[in-house]
Structure 1
Protein backbone atom coordinates (compact mmCIF):
# COMPACT_ATOMS: atom_id res chain seq x y z
CA UNK A 1 0.00 0.00 0.00
CA UNK A 2 2.77 2.41 0.92
CA UNK A 3 4.61 1.76 -2.35
CA UNK A 4 1.43 2.67 -4.28
CA UNK A 5 1.21 5.98 -2.41
CA UNK A 6 4.91 6.69 -2.93
CA UNK A 7 4.67 5.88 -6.64
CA UNK A 8 2.41 8.92 -6.99
CA UNK A 9 5.37 11.09 -6.04
CA UNK A 10 7.61 9.37 -8.62
CA UNK A 11 5.22 10.19 -11.47
CA UNK A 12 2.90 12.96 -10.24
CA UNK A 13 1.73 14.05 -13.71
CA UNK A 14 0.68 10.77 -15.31
CA UNK A 15 3.80 10.39 -17.41
CA UNK A 16 4.01 14.01 -18.54
CA UNK A 17 7.09 15.99 -17.58
CA UNK A 18 6.54 18.92 -15.22
CA UNK A 19 7.61 21.34 -17.96
CA UNK A 20 4.88 20.04 -20.30
CA UNK A 21 2.22 20.26 -17.60
CA UNK A 22 3.37 23.77 -16.71
CA UNK A 23 3.34 24.84 -20.35
CA UNK A 24 -0.17 23.51 -20.93
CA UNK A 25 -1.57 25.12 -17.77
CA UNK A 26 0.20 28.42 -18.49
CA UNK A 27 -0.97 28.46 -22.11
CA UNK A 28 -4.56 27.92 -20.95
CA UNK A 29 -4.31 30.83 -18.51
CA UNK A 30 -2.72 33.16 -21.08
CA UNK A 31 -5.06 32.30 -23.95
CA UNK A 32 -8.16 32.38 -21.75
CA UNK A 33 -6.88 35.66 -20.36
CA UNK A 34 -6.69 37.21 -23.82
CA UNK A 35 -10.39 36.64 -24.38
CA UNK A 36 -11.12 37.78 -20.83
CA UNK A 37 -9.05 40.92 -21.39
CA UNK A 38 -11.19 41.84 -24.39
CA UNK A 39 -14.36 41.34 -22.31
CA UNK A 40 -12.84 43.30 -19.40
CA UNK A 41 -11.93 46.18 -21.74
CA UNK A 42 -15.59 46.33 -22.79
CA UNK A 43 -16.65 46.39 -19.12
CA UNK A 44 -18.57 43.12 -19.41
CA UNK A 45 -19.72 41.09 -16.38
CA UNK A 46 -17.19 38.24 -16.79
CA UNK A 47 -13.72 39.42 -17.62
CA UNK A 48 -10.06 38.61 -17.26
CA UNK A 49 -9.98 36.49 -14.11
CA UNK A 50 -13.14 34.56 -14.94
CA UNK A 51 -11.95 33.55 -18.40
CA UNK A 52 -8.50 32.67 -17.08
CA UNK A 53 -9.94 30.45 -14.36
CA UNK A 54 -12.33 28.72 -16.75
CA UNK A 55 -9.51 27.90 -19.18
CA UNK A 56 -7.25 26.77 -16.33
CA UNK A 57 -9.94 24.52 -14.84
CA UNK A 58 -10.75 22.95 -18.21
CA UNK A 59 -7.04 22.31 -18.82
CA UNK A 60 -6.65 20.76 -15.39
CA UNK A 61 -9.66 18.50 -15.90
CA UNK A 62 -8.14 17.35 -19.19
CA UNK A 63 -4.78 16.61 -17.59
CA UNK A 64 -6.53 14.70 -14.81
CA UNK A 65 -8.51 12.68 -17.34
CA UNK A 66 -5.29 11.71 -19.12
CA UNK A 67 -3.81 10.67 -15.80
CA UNK A 68 -6.89 8.57 -15.04
CA UNK A 69 -6.74 6.95 -18.47
CA UNK A 70 -3.13 5.95 -17.86
CA UNK A 71 -3.76 4.73 -14.33
CA UNK A 72 -6.53 2.30 -15.24
CA UNK A 73 -5.19 -1.21 -15.44
CA UNK A 74 -6.44 -4.27 -17.27
CA UNK A 75 -9.29 -4.66 -19.67
CA UNK A 76 -12.01 -4.34 -17.08
CA UNK A 77 -14.73 -2.22 -18.76
CA UNK A 78 -15.71 -0.80 -15.37
CA UNK A 79 -12.26 0.81 -15.14
CA UNK A 80 -12.29 2.30 -18.62
CA UNK A 81 -12.27 6.09 -18.72
CA UNK A 82 -14.07 7.76 -21.61
CA UNK A 83 -12.40 11.07 -22.58
CA UNK A 84 -15.58 12.31 -24.26
CA UNK A 85 -17.28 12.39 -20.88
CA UNK A 86 -14.69 14.93 -19.83
CA UNK A 87 -15.56 17.19 -22.74
CA UNK A 88 -19.26 16.86 -21.93
CA UNK A 89 -18.70 17.59 -18.23
CA UNK A 90 -16.53 20.66 -18.85
CA UNK A 91 -18.95 21.94 -21.49
CA UNK A 92 -21.91 21.53 -19.15
CA UNK A 93 -20.10 23.18 -16.24
CA UNK A 94 -18.98 26.17 -18.29
CA UNK A 95 -22.41 26.48 -19.89
CA UNK A 96 -23.91 26.71 -16.40
CA UNK A 97 -21.52 29.56 -15.53
CA UNK A 98 -22.06 31.27 -18.87
CA UNK A 99 -25.84 31.12 -18.48
CA UNK A 100 -25.45 33.21 -15.33
CA UNK A 101 -24.00 36.08 -17.37
CA UNK A 102 -26.93 36.23 -19.78
CA UNK A 103 -29.68 38.67 -18.85
CA UNK A 104 -32.96 39.00 -20.70
CA UNK A 105 -35.37 41.82 -20.24
CA UNK A 106 -37.11 44.70 -21.95
CA UNK A 107 -37.12 42.84 -25.24
CA UNK A 108 -33.35 42.40 -25.34
CA UNK A 109 -30.59 40.00 -24.39
CA UNK A 110 -27.35 41.07 -22.70
CA UNK A 111 -24.27 39.02 -21.90
CA UNK A 112 -24.65 36.48 -24.68
CA UNK A 113 -21.24 37.23 -26.21
CA UNK A 114 -19.58 37.07 -22.80
CA UNK A 115 -21.26 33.71 -22.18
CA UNK A 116 -20.01 32.48 -25.54
CA UNK A 117 -16.52 33.72 -24.65
CA UNK A 118 -16.63 31.76 -21.41
CA UNK A 119 -17.68 28.66 -23.33
CA UNK A 120 -14.81 29.22 -25.76
CA UNK A 121 -12.38 29.68 -22.86
CA UNK A 122 -13.42 26.23 -21.66
CA UNK A 123 -12.76 24.76 -25.09
CA UNK A 124 -9.38 26.51 -25.24
CA UNK A 125 -8.50 25.05 -21.85
CA UNK A 126 -9.49 21.57 -23.06
CA UNK A 127 -7.31 21.99 -26.15
CA UNK A 128 -4.36 23.14 -24.04
CA UNK A 129 -4.76 20.23 -21.67
CA UNK A 130 -4.82 17.82 -24.61
CA UNK A 131 -1.59 19.33 -25.92
CA UNK A 132 -3.16 21.08 -28.92
CA UNK A 133 -1.59 24.45 -28.14
CA UNK A 134 -1.48 25.57 -31.77
CA UNK A 135 -5.20 24.85 -32.15
CA UNK A 136 -5.94 26.73 -28.91
CA UNK A 137 -3.84 29.71 -30.02
CA UNK A 138 -5.48 29.78 -33.45
CA UNK A 139 -8.97 29.65 -31.93
CA UNK A 140 -8.02 32.48 -29.55
CA UNK A 141 -6.69 34.62 -32.40
CA UNK A 142 -9.82 34.05 -34.49
CA UNK A 143 -12.04 34.86 -31.50
CA UNK A 144 -10.20 38.12 -30.89
CA UNK A 145 -10.58 39.06 -34.55
CA UNK A 146 -14.28 38.24 -34.44
CA UNK A 147 -14.78 40.26 -31.26
CA UNK A 148 -12.84 43.27 -32.55
CA UNK A 149 -13.92 43.38 -36.19
CA UNK A 150 -17.55 42.60 -35.71
CA UNK A 151 -17.79 45.19 -32.97
CA UNK A 152 -16.74 47.76 -35.54
CA UNK A 153 -19.44 46.54 -37.90
CA UNK A 154 -22.19 46.73 -35.29
Structure 2
Protein backbone atom coordinates (compact mmCIF):
# COMPACT_ATOMS: atom_id res chain seq x y z
CA UNK A 1 0.00 0.00 0.00
CA UNK A 2 2.90 2.36 0.73
CA UNK A 3 4.24 1.78 -2.77
CA UNK A 4 0.91 2.77 -4.28
CA UNK A 5 0.76 5.90 -2.12
CA UNK A 6 4.35 6.74 -3.15
CA UNK A 7 3.41 6.24 -6.80
CA UNK A 8 0.33 8.44 -6.53
CA UNK A 9 2.04 11.15 -4.47
CA UNK A 10 5.74 11.21 -5.38
CA UNK A 11 8.00 13.78 -3.75
CA UNK A 12 7.29 17.14 -5.32
CA UNK A 13 9.22 20.40 -5.38
CA UNK A 14 5.93 22.26 -5.62
CA UNK A 15 3.73 21.37 -2.64
CA UNK A 16 0.55 19.58 -3.67
CA UNK A 17 -1.77 22.25 -2.21
CA UNK A 18 0.05 24.84 -4.36
CA UNK A 19 -0.37 22.62 -7.45
CA UNK A 20 -4.08 22.31 -6.64
CA UNK A 21 -4.47 26.09 -6.30
CA UNK A 22 -2.56 26.71 -9.55
CA UNK A 23 -4.78 24.30 -11.47
CA UNK A 24 -7.93 25.77 -9.94
CA UNK A 25 -6.65 29.29 -10.68
CA UNK A 26 -5.93 28.40 -14.31
CA UNK A 27 -9.45 27.02 -14.69
CA UNK A 28 -11.02 30.14 -13.20
CA UNK A 29 -8.87 32.54 -15.22
CA UNK A 30 -9.57 30.64 -18.43
CA UNK A 31 -13.27 30.81 -17.56
CA UNK A 32 -13.20 34.61 -17.39
CA UNK A 33 -12.06 34.85 -21.00
CA UNK A 34 -14.10 31.88 -22.18
CA UNK A 35 -17.30 33.24 -20.67
CA UNK A 36 -17.16 36.33 -22.88
CA UNK A 37 -16.58 34.20 -25.99
CA UNK A 38 -19.41 31.87 -24.92
CA UNK A 39 -21.76 34.81 -24.32
CA UNK A 40 -21.12 35.95 -27.90
CA UNK A 41 -21.69 32.40 -29.20
CA UNK A 42 -18.19 32.07 -30.62
CA UNK A 43 -16.90 28.65 -31.71
CA UNK A 44 -14.33 28.41 -28.90
CA UNK A 45 -16.12 29.33 -25.70
CA UNK A 46 -16.05 28.66 -21.98
CA UNK A 47 -14.93 25.02 -21.95
CA UNK A 48 -12.33 25.48 -24.67
CA UNK A 49 -10.68 28.43 -22.94
CA UNK A 50 -10.73 26.66 -19.59
CA UNK A 51 -9.12 23.57 -21.10
CA UNK A 52 -6.43 25.55 -22.95
CA UNK A 53 -5.55 27.43 -19.76
CA UNK A 54 -5.57 24.19 -17.74
CA UNK A 55 -3.38 22.39 -20.28
CA UNK A 56 -0.81 25.18 -20.34
CA UNK A 57 -0.76 25.27 -16.54
CA UNK A 58 -0.32 21.51 -16.35
CA UNK A 59 2.53 21.57 -18.88
CA UNK A 60 4.35 24.25 -16.91
CA UNK A 61 3.93 22.42 -13.59
CA UNK A 62 5.20 19.19 -15.15
CA UNK A 63 8.08 21.14 -16.68
CA UNK A 64 9.11 22.56 -13.32
CA UNK A 65 8.80 19.18 -11.63
CA UNK A 66 10.72 17.33 -14.37
CA UNK A 67 13.78 19.51 -13.84
CA UNK A 68 14.18 17.92 -10.43
CA UNK A 69 13.28 14.30 -11.22
CA UNK A 70 15.87 11.80 -10.04
CA UNK A 71 16.62 10.09 -13.36
CA UNK A 72 17.41 13.30 -15.18
CA UNK A 73 20.72 14.25 -13.58
CA UNK A 74 22.85 12.64 -16.26
CA UNK A 75 25.13 15.00 -18.20
CA UNK A 76 23.50 13.82 -21.42
CA UNK A 77 20.05 14.93 -20.28
CA UNK A 78 19.27 18.62 -20.38
CA UNK A 79 15.85 19.84 -19.35
CA UNK A 80 14.84 23.40 -20.11
CA UNK A 81 11.44 24.49 -18.75
CA UNK A 82 11.37 27.38 -21.22
CA UNK A 83 11.02 24.91 -24.06
CA UNK A 84 7.59 24.17 -22.63
CA UNK A 85 6.68 27.81 -23.22
CA UNK A 86 7.70 27.42 -26.86
CA UNK A 87 5.78 24.16 -27.25
CA UNK A 88 2.61 25.48 -25.62
CA UNK A 89 2.80 28.68 -27.65
CA UNK A 90 3.11 26.74 -30.89
CA UNK A 91 0.42 24.24 -29.95
CA UNK A 92 -2.11 26.83 -28.88
CA UNK A 93 -1.32 28.98 -31.92
CA UNK A 94 -2.14 25.96 -34.09
CA UNK A 95 -5.44 25.50 -32.23
CA UNK A 96 -6.20 29.22 -32.42
CA UNK A 97 -5.50 29.27 -36.16
CA UNK A 98 -8.19 26.64 -36.54
CA UNK A 99 -10.78 29.13 -35.27
CA UNK A 100 -9.90 31.64 -38.00
CA UNK A 101 -11.83 31.03 -41.20
CA UNK A 102 -12.55 32.77 -44.47
CA UNK A 103 -16.28 32.79 -45.13
CA UNK A 104 -18.04 34.69 -47.89
CA UNK A 105 -14.97 36.80 -48.48
CA UNK A 106 -14.58 37.79 -44.83
CA UNK A 107 -12.04 36.70 -42.22
CA UNK A 108 -13.73 35.49 -39.04
CA UNK A 109 -12.54 34.21 -35.67
CA UNK A 110 -9.46 36.36 -35.17
CA UNK A 111 -10.47 37.61 -31.71
CA UNK A 112 -11.34 34.09 -30.59
CA UNK A 113 -7.98 32.84 -31.86
CA UNK A 114 -6.19 35.60 -29.99
CA UNK A 115 -8.14 34.87 -26.80
CA UNK A 116 -7.16 31.19 -27.00
CA UNK A 117 -3.52 32.15 -27.41
CA UNK A 118 -3.81 34.43 -24.39
CA UNK A 119 -5.48 31.65 -22.38
CA UNK A 120 -2.40 29.52 -23.04
CA UNK A 121 -0.13 32.30 -21.82
CA UNK A 122 -2.24 32.78 -18.70
CA UNK A 123 -2.12 29.04 -17.99
CA UNK A 124 1.65 29.07 -18.32
CA UNK A 125 1.88 32.06 -15.98
CA UNK A 126 -0.21 30.36 -13.32
CA UNK A 127 1.61 27.06 -13.75
CA UNK A 128 4.96 28.77 -13.24
CA UNK A 129 3.55 30.59 -10.22
CA UNK A 130 3.40 34.08 -11.70
CA UNK A 131 -0.03 34.99 -10.35
CA UNK A 132 0.36 38.75 -10.77
CA UNK A 133 1.20 38.39 -14.47
CA UNK A 134 -1.73 36.02 -14.99
CA UNK A 135 -4.12 38.23 -13.04
CA UNK A 136 -3.13 41.35 -14.96
CA UNK A 137 -3.52 39.45 -18.24
CA UNK A 138 -7.03 38.33 -17.24
CA UNK A 139 -8.02 41.87 -16.23
CA UNK A 140 -6.61 43.18 -19.49
CA UNK A 141 -8.42 40.52 -21.51
CA UNK A 142 -11.67 41.28 -19.72
CA UNK A 143 -11.19 44.97 -20.46
CA UNK A 144 -10.50 44.36 -24.14
CA UNK A 145 -13.24 41.79 -24.70
CA UNK A 146 -16.04 43.31 -22.60
CA UNK A 147 -15.35 47.00 -22.15
CA UNK A 148 -13.65 47.79 -25.46
CA UNK A 149 -16.05 45.41 -27.21
CA UNK A 150 -19.01 47.28 -25.71
CA UNK A 151 -17.57 50.69 -26.62
CA UNK A 152 -16.77 49.44 -30.12
CA UNK A 153 -20.30 48.11 -30.62
CA UNK A 154 -21.85 51.39 -29.41
CA UNK A 155 -19.54 53.57 -31.48
CA UNK A 156 -19.78 51.53 -34.66
CA UNK A 157 -23.49 50.70 -34.48
CA UNK A 158 -24.22 48.30 -37.30
CA UNK A 159 -20.86 48.96 -38.95
CA UNK A 160 -18.91 46.67 -36.65
CA UNK A 161 -15.33 45.90 -37.66
CA UNK A 162 -16.00 42.21 -36.95
CA UNK A 163 -14.70 40.96 -40.25
CA UNK A 164 -12.13 42.04 -42.78
CA UNK A 165 -13.14 41.61 -46.41
CA UNK A 166 -10.77 39.21 -48.14
CA UNK A 167 -8.49 41.06 -50.49
CA UNK A 168 -9.62 44.48 -49.20
CA UNK A 169 -6.50 46.36 -48.18
CA UNK A 170 -8.33 49.63 -47.51
CA UNK A 171 -8.72 50.92 -44.00
CA UNK A 172 -12.40 51.69 -44.51
CA UNK A 173 -15.05 49.96 -42.43
CA UNK A 174 -17.62 47.72 -44.00
CA UNK A 175 -20.96 46.65 -42.56
CA UNK A 176 -20.63 43.09 -41.35
CA UNK A 177 -22.41 40.73 -39.03
CA UNK A 178 -19.60 38.20 -39.10
CA UNK A 179 -18.44 36.35 -36.03
CA UNK A 180 -15.11 37.26 -34.46
TM-score with structure 2 setting the length: 0.76
- Rounded to whole Å, the distance in 1 between the matches of 2:56 and 2:64 is 13
Q: CA RMSD in A?
A: 2.0
- Rounded to whole Å, the distance in 2 between the matches of 1:81 and 1:9 is 23
Matches within 5 A, 1:1-154: 8-9=7-8, 11-12=10-11, 14-71=12-69, 73-74=72-73, 76=75, 78-151=76-149, 152-154=151-153
Question: CA 1:100–1:10 in 2, change beyond 3 Å: closer, same or farther?
Answer: closer
Secondary structure of the equivalent of 1:70? coil
Q: What is the CA deviation profile of residues 30-64 of structure 1, one whole-angstrom value per residue up to 9, with x for unaligned ones? A: 00011000100111000000000000000000011
Question: CA 1:21–1:109 in 2, change beyond 3 Å: closer, same or farther?
Answer: same
Q: Determine which structure has the larger helix proportion and give its number.
A: 1
- Rounded to whole Å, the distance in 2 between the matches of 1:62 and 1:56 is 10
Offset, 1:5: 8.7
TM-score with structure 1 setting the length: 0.88
Any unmatched runs of 5+ in structure 1? none
Any unmatched runs of 5+ in structure 2? 154-180
Q: What is the CA deviation profile of residues 4-26 of structure 1, one whole-angstrom value per residue up to 9, with x for unaligned ones? A: 997555535x3211110000000
- Rounded to whole Å, the distance in 2 between the matches of 1:50 and 1:9 is 28
- Greater radius of gyration (CA): 2
Aligned length: 150
**Using CA pairs below 8 Å that are at least 6 residues apart, which structure has the higher relative contact order?**
1
